[in-house]
Amino acid sequence: MISCPKCGADNPEGSRFCRECGATLPQTGLRCPMCGAVNITANVFCDRCGARLTPLSAAPADEHEEGETSPTRPSLRSLSLPTIPLEEGGPSPAAEPDWLSDLRSTMGEEKATTPSTPSPEEAEPTSVPDWLGGLLAPADEQPPPPPPPAPAAESDLPDWLRELRAGAPPPPAAPVPPTPPLEEVEIPDWLRDLQGTGRPAAPAEPAPPSGEAEVRAAPPKPSAPAEEAGVPDWLRELQETGEPTTPAGPSPFVFEGEVPDWLRGPETAAPAAAPTDIPDWLRQIETPSPPVPSAPPPAKEVTVPPWLTEMEAGLARMEAEARERPEPTPPVFTTEEPLGPIEPGEIPSWLLELRPKEEGLPAPPPAARPEREALAPAEIPEWMQALRPTPEAPPATEEPAEATGLLEGLRGTLPASPLAERIPRAVAKGAPVAASAASIARAELLQELLTRPTTPPRKAERPRPQVGWSLQHAFIGLLLLAAVILPMFGISLPDQPAPQAVVGPAAEASQVFDQIEATVGAGTSVLVAFEYDPGEADEMDRVAEPVLHHLLQRGAQVTIVSTRPEGTTLANRLLADLEATGLITTAQRTAQVANLGYWPGQTLGVRDALDSPAATSAALVVVLAGQQGDLQAWVEQMAARSPSRPLLAGISARSEPVARPYLRAGTPLRGMVTGLTGAAAYEARLGSSSGRVVLYLRSLTLTQGVVAALMIVGAVVFLLRGRSR
Amino acid sequence: MERLTKQILPMIIAIAAAVLTLTGYLTPYQELTVLMVRWAAIVAAFALLLGFLNVLQVHFLRLAGRKQGFGARLNSLALLLAALVSLLVTGAGLLVNLDLLRRLSDWWFGFVLLPLQAGAAALVAFALALAAFRLVRGRRNLWVLPFLASALVVLVGTAPMPEPLAVPLTHLRAWWVETLALPGMRGLLIGVGLGTLVMGVRILIGMDRPHSDV
C-alpha cells in the first residue's frame, strides 16, 4: 500500500494518484532499466517489456533439486557473483581441471553416503555460497522477509552455484566458529532485507580454519531451521555435531597479496588444513614455508579475477575436508609475483559496501605522489603588460535560446555576438610604437569613409526624347508615306519617257532584251532562278515580270528553280499574276513552264541545279536575285561550269554596285535589269506592260526626290545649327 | 572522350570532306566531288529542318520561362502560332492535292507572309531616309560631303527626270558608280575572296574549327 503524502490515505500498489485527494503518489515500485516503466516490487520481469527487473542471484525454490519451497526462505536479489560461463548441464571434461573433477567425484560419493532427507532449510542454503552464509547469520534477529519474487530459471544460476548444488551435501567438517555480527554500516541493502527474516542472533563462535574466501562467509553454527537458509548442508551438519573446532594451525593455502587485508580480517590466523585433495598442479606449486604470522602486514589491494574467486570457493571446501587430516606443516601457497594494486574501478560496488571501516584495520597508505617542481613565473615584458586586457569584462549576458533548427531549445550553443566583439579591449598603457602622422591621416580618412552615409547608386536615367526629335520622325514618316501613296491617286511628277541612254540601267536592260531576242526562240530551254524572298518581292516581281513575259512570248521552255524556300512560291504567284493580267495564257503557263522547286544548300544548290538535266540543256540562264550574294553564287558557278553559256540577271537596285563588276569582267553575265528603272526600260523595249511598273516607278521617283530633299534640308539645317552654337 | 567527340572527330570529318571535294576539282575524277556535293545538299536540308526546330524550341522555352518579359513572351507566342499555322497550311497544301488547301496556302503567303516582310523592308527605307536627314548632325567633317554627294547623285540619277536633266544626270550617275563606286566594290570583293580562301585553308588544316564548339 502506498500512503498518500497529503491526506495519508492508503492506495493500492502501483497507484499514481491518491484515490482520496488526487495527489500524486510517490512511485515506490521498481523502474524497468530497459523501458522505464514502474512495476510493483514483487515483479521480477517488467510488465511492459518483459525485461528482468532484478539481477540473477539464486535458484528459485520450485526448481530446486528437492522441489520444495520455503515461504521464509530469504531471497538474494541483489547479488550476482562473477562466474565463468559454462555449458548447460555442467562443465565439459576438457575445460574442467583435474582437481575439480576429483572434488566433484569425492562430493558425489559423499552425497551417496549422506542421508537423503533434506529439510527445506537444507535445500535452500545450496543456492547461497558458504562464505555468504556467514553474512546471513547475523541477520537472524530480523523479521522474516517478504516472500521472494518469481523464481529464476535454472539457467540463470551462476555456474559455481550450480556446481555447488550438484555436489550437494558437503562432507562433515570441523565446527564453524561463530562470526561476530557485522555492523549496520557494513551490511548492504539486500543483506538488510535478509535480516528482516527475524532470525535470532546466533552466538558468536570463532571462525573456522578455512580459506581466505570463507572468512566472512562462515555461517553461524547454532541456528534454527529458518535461520539456516543460507547455510549449506555440510555446514549445518557440522553445526549439529557441536564439536569444538580446534585451530589446526595456519591455513594451508595462503595467497599472499591476493586478498585485501580488510577481507582477511581477524581470521588470518586460521589453522591450515592438509591439502589431501589438492590437484597435482596445485601440489606442485606448493612450497614449504613458515606459517603465516597472525598479524600480517598490510596487504596490497589486488584484483580477484572470477576464476580465482571460484577457485577460492573450491579450495575452501577442500580446506574444510582437510581439517580432518591435519598436517603438521602445511605448505604456504605463495605467489611468486605480487599482483598490482586494485584500481578503484575494478572493485564492484557491492564489495565496496562490504569494506569494513574498523579503526583497527590498517588503511592502505595513500600513494605517495612525486612532488613536482613548481613552475617559475614567467617574466612578462612591459610591452606585453601594456597589451594585457583590463579586468573590466563585459557583463555576461544570457545567451538566447535557439528558436528553430536542430539546436532548438538549446541555449548558448551559438554566440549571440561575434567573437571579435567579445575580446576585451586593451587599454593603451603606453603603446609600443607611436602612430605616425600618415597613419593617423589614413585612419581619419577611413573613419570618415565609414561614417559617411551610404547613398544608393543612381539609376541611369534614360534621356527623354526631345520634342524636335519626335517631330523629325513624324515629319519624315509622313513625307515618305505621302510619296508612296500620292501616285496611286494620280498625284505625281510628270511621266518622262525612258531615256535612250547608252549607259545606266536603261542601257543594261536593253542588253538583256537583245540577248533574249538573239538566243531564245520557240522551244529554247531557259533556266530561270527565283532568288528573292517576299520582302523583296515588291521590287523583284516588277523586275521579273517583263523578263518572264518576254521569254514566254518568245516560246521558250522555262524551267524554274530556286535555292530559297519561298522562291518557287513567288514564281507561281508571278505566273498567276501574268496570267491574270493577260500577259500570258494558261496554255503558255502549263506548256512552257516547269517548276523544279527548291534546291537546298545555297551555293551547293546552285551547283546542283546547274548540273541537273534541265539546266544542262538550257541555252540561257536567267537569275532574278534580290541580294548580291545570290547573283554572285550564280555567276561564279556558271563561270566554273559553263563559261560560254550566257547569263542574264534581274537584280534589285541595291545590288547594282556589286553586280556591275561582274558585268564588266568578262563573266557569263551578259546583261542585267536593275530595279524599277531597268524594268521600266525593259517594258519600253518590250512594248507591252501591265502598268504596275510605271505605277511603282512613279512612287519611287517621288520617294527618291523626297529623300534627296530631306538630305539637303537636313544638311543645311544641322550645319547652320552647329555654326550658331 | 569529350575532346574526341567534340573537337577531333568533327575536325577529321571536315578536313576529309574538304580534301575529297577539292580532289574532284584538281583531278579528272569528279564523281567523288559530285557525291560529296550531294551529301552536302542533304546535310543542308537537314540543317534547315534542325534550324526550324531550334527556332521553335528557343521560343517555346522563352514562352515557358519566367525570365522574359511580357512583350518578349508575346512575341514568342506569335512566332510559334505563325510557324505552326504556316506549317500546317503549307504542308497540307503540298501533301494533299486539294484546291482549297492550295488556295489557303496562297492566301496565307500573299496576305500574311509577304506583307509582313515587305513592311519590314519598308522600315529599312524609312530608317535610311532618317539617317540621310541627320547625316550632318552626327558627323560634321569633310568626309560627310562625298557620302552626301554619292547618295544624291544615285538617287537623282536613277529617277526619271525631265529631258533636259535626264541625260546629264544619267551620265553623271554612271560615271559616279563605275569610276568611284566600282573600284571600291571590287576591292571589297577581292578582300572577301581572299578572306574566304584563307578561311578555307585554315579550316582545311584544322586551325579554325567553326564546326565544333570547343
Q: Is the pLDDT of residue A382 over 60?
A: yes
Share of chain B above pLDDT 70, in %: 99
Closest chain A CA to residue B184: A657
Distance between CA atoms of residues A400 and A411, nearest Å: 6
Contacts of B48 in chain A (CB under 8 A): 565, 600
Q: What is the mean pLDDT of residues A449-470?
A: 75
Model pLDDT, residue A619:
92
Distance between CA atoms of residues A529 and A552, nearest Å: 15
SS3 A30: strand
Q: Is the pLDDT of residue B25 over 70?
A: yes
**Of A395 and A76, more confident:** A395
Model pLDDT, residue A94:
45
Please report the number of interchain residue pairs, chain A to chain B, with beta-carbon separation below 8 angstroms: 163
Q: Report the 10 Å Cβ neighbour count for B148.
A: 17
Share of chain A above pLDDT 90, in %: 12
Contacts of B159 in chain A (CB under 8 A): 677, 700-701, 704-705
Contact A536 B41 (CB under 8 A): no
Quote the minimal CA–CA distance from B122 to chain A in Å. Answer: 9
Pairing of strands A38-39, A593-598: unpaired
Distances (CA, A) of A231 to A165, A176, A237: 12, 11, 10
What are the pLDDT digits (tens) for B96-132?
Answer: 777 788 788 888 888 888 888 888 888 888 888 888 8
Convert A425-446 to b/e letters by CB count within 10 Å (16 or more is b): eeeeeeeeeeeeeeeeeeeeee
Q: Of A45-49, A509-513, B170-174, which one has max mean pLDDT? A: A509-513
Model pLDDT, residue A583:
87
Grade residue A518 by pLDDT with cuts at 50, 70 and 90: very high
Contacts of B130 in chain A (CB under 8 A): 472-473, 476
SS3 A527: strand
Quote the minimal CA–CA distance from A656 to chain B in Å. Answer: 9
Which site among A718, A720, A721 would you substitute to test the B interface, given the most B Cβ atoms closer than 10 Å to its Cβ?
A718
SS3 A248: coil
Q: Of A69-83, A262-276, A455-469, B169-183, which one has max mean pLDDT? A: B169-183
By C-alpha distance, which of A623, A690, A692, A618 is closest to A659? A623
Contacts of A538 in chain B (CB under 8 A): 118, 121
Chain A (609-668) residues lying within 8 Å, Cβ to Cβ, of chain B: 611, 653, 656-658, 660-661, 664
Contact A657 B177 (CB under 8 A): yes
**Of A610 and A80, more confident:** A610
How many CA atoms lie within 13 Å of A375's alpha carbon, on the beta-carbon side?
Answer: 3
Grade residue A412 by pLDDT with cuts at 50, 70 and 90: low
Model pLDDT, residue A125:
41
Q: What is the mean pLDDT of residues A190-210?
A: 47
What are the pLDDT digits (tens) for A124-177?
Answer: 444 445 555 444 444 444 444 444 444 444 445 555 655 555 554 444 444 444
Which site among B39, B134, B165, B190 would you substitute to test the A interface, given the most A Cβ atoms closer than 10 Å to its Cβ?
B134
Contacts of B139 in chain A (CB under 8 A): none
Query: Which residues lie across from A17 on neighbouring strands?
Result: A24
Would you call A708 an interface residue with chain B, using a CB distance cutoff of 8 Å?
Answer: yes
Query: Which residues lie across from A558 on neighbouring strands?
Result: A526, A593
> Which uninterrupted H or E stretch holds A596?
strand A593-598
Quote the minimal CA–CA distance from A675 to chain B in Å. Answer: 9
Distance between CA atoms of residues A323 and A210, nearest Å: 9
Closest chain A CA to residue B186: A661
Which site among B33, B34, B102, B136 would you substitute to test the A interface, given the most A Cβ atoms closer than 10 Å to its Cβ?
B136
Q: Are A675 and B173 in contact (CB under 8 A)?
A: no
Q: What are phi and psi of A144, to 5 degrees?
A: -65, 145
Closest chain B CA to residue A653: B158
Q: Are B193 and B4 in contact (CB under 8 A)?
A: no
Distance between CA atoms of residues B88 and A634, nearest Å: 33
Model pLDDT, residue A429:
53
Distance between CA atoms of residues B129 and B125, nearest Å: 6
> What is the 3-class SS of A66-104, one letter each residue?
CCCCCCCCCCCCCCCCCCCCCCCCCCCCCCCCHHHHHHH
Model pLDDT, residue A538:
87
Query: Which residues lie across from A11 on neighbouring strands?
Result: A2
Q: Is the pLDDT of residue A389 over 50?
A: yes
Q: Of A243-247, A323-327, A522-526, which one has max mean pLDDT? A: A522-526
Q: What is the mean pLDDT of residues A440-463?
A: 82
What are the pLDDT digits (tens) for B57-89?
Answer: 999 999 888 788 888 889 999 999 988 888 888
Share of chain A above pLDDT 70, in %: 50
**Of B170 and A295, more confident:** B170
Contacts of B125 in chain A (CB under 8 A): 480, 703
Q: Is the pLDDT of residue A196 over 70?
A: no
Contact A713 B162 (CB under 8 A): no
Model pLDDT, residue B82:
87
pTM, 2 dp: 0.49
Contact A701 B160 (CB under 8 A): yes
Contacts of A504 in chain B (CB under 8 A): 157, 170-171, 173-174
Helix ranges restricted to H, A554-655: 567-581, 586-592, 603-610, 613-616, 628-641
By C-alpha distance, which of A630, A601, A600, A619 is closest to A529? A630
Q: Which of A17-31, A67-81, A361-375, A552-566 has the lowest mean pLDDT?
A: A67-81
Which site among B108, B155, B165 would you substitute to test the A interface, given the most A Cβ atoms closer than 10 Å to its Cβ?
B155
Contact B106 A573 (CB under 8 A): yes
Contact A608 B37 (CB under 8 A): yes
Model pLDDT, residue A453:
80
CA A592 to chain centre: 80
What strands lie across the sheet with A525-531, from one edge to the other? Answer: A593-598, A557-562, A525-531, A620-625, A647-651, A669-674
Grade residue A68 by pLDDT with cuts at 50, 70 and 90: very low
Pairing of strands A669-674, A647-651: parallel
Q: Report the 10 Å Cβ neighbour count for A337.
A: 6
What are the pLDDT digits (tens) for A21-65?
Answer: 888 877 667 778 888 877 777 788 888 888 887 766 544 444 444
Q: What is the ipTM of this complex?
A: 0.77
Q: Are A544 and A574 in contact (CB under 8 A)?
A: yes
Q: Of A193-197, A325-329, A454-458, A546-550, which one has max mean pLDDT? A: A546-550
Model pLDDT, residue A486:
84
Q: Are A678 and A507 in contact (CB under 8 A)?
A: no
Choose the closest CB to B171 out of A503, A653, A722.
A503
Contacts of B24 in chain A (CB under 8 A): none
Cα three-residue angle B70-B76-B81, rounded to 5 degrees: 125
Would you call A358 an interface residue with chain B, using a CB distance cutoff of 8 Å?
Answer: no
Model pLDDT, residue B56:
92
Model pLDDT, residue A93:
44
Contacts of B166 in chain A (CB under 8 A): 496, 499, 501
Model pLDDT, residue A170:
45
Pairing of strands A30-31, A38-39: antiparallel
Contacts of A574 in chain B (CB under 8 A): none
Contact A472 B135 (CB under 8 A): no
> Which uninterrupted H or E stretch holds A621?
strand A620-625
Distance between CA atoms of residues A606 and A615, nearest Å: 10
The two most distant CA atoms of chain B are separated, in Å, by 75
Q: Are A310 and A131 in contact (CB under 8 A)?
A: no
Q: Which of A289-293, A353-357, A466-470, A652-656 has the lowest mean pLDDT?
A: A289-293
Choose the closest CB to B114 out of A506, A537, A704.
A537
Per-residue cell: A351: 564489495
Quote the minimal CA–CA distance from A555 to chain B in Å. Answer: 27
Q: Are A161 and A130 in contact (CB under 8 A)?
A: no
Contacts of A660 in chain B (CB under 8 A): 177-178, 182, 185
The two most distant CA atoms of chain A are separated, in Å, by 168
Contacts of A566 in chain B (CB under 8 A): 109, 113
Contact A657 B181 (CB under 8 A): yes
Q: What is the mean pLDDT of residues A671-695?
A: 85
Q: Is the pLDDT of residue A649 over 80?
A: yes
CA A701 to chain centre: 80
Per-residue cell: A115: 542421508
Name all contacts of A44-51 with Cβ < 8 Å and 24+ positions apart: A44/A149, A44/A150, A44/A152, A45/A150
Transcribe A393-442 into DSSP letters: PPPPPPPPBP-SSTTTT-BSSS-SS-HHHHSPPBP-SS-SSPPPHHHHHH
Distances (CA, A) of A235 to A130, A180, A238: 8, 17, 5
Q: Report the 10 Å Cβ neighbour count for A629.
A: 14
Distance between CA atoms of residues A244 and A208, nearest Å: 10
- Residues 6 or more apart whose CB falls under 8 angstroms from that of A143 comprise A196, A197, A198
Distance between CA atoms of residues A333 and A286, nearest Å: 5
- In one-letter notation, the amino acid at residue A560 is I
Model pLDDT, residue A195:
53
Quote the minimal CA–CA distance from B119 to chain A in Å. Answer: 8
Convert A558-594 to b/e letters by CB count within 10 Å (16 or more is b): bbbbbbbebbbbbbbbbbeebbeeebbeeebbeebbe
Query: Rounded mean pLDDT of chain A?
Result: 68
Q: Are A179 and A204 in contact (CB under 8 A)?
A: yes
Distance between CA atoms of residues A215 and A32, nearest Å: 35
Convert B75-111 to b/e letters by CB count within 10 Å (16 or more is b): ebeebbeeeeeeeebbeebeeeeeeebbebbbebbbe
Distance between CA atoms of residues A240 and A559, nearest Å: 143
Distance between CA atoms of residues A724 and B3, nearest Å: 64
Q: What is the mean pLDDT of residues A595-602?
A: 85
What are the pLDDT digits (tens) for A705-717?
Answer: 888 888 888 888 8
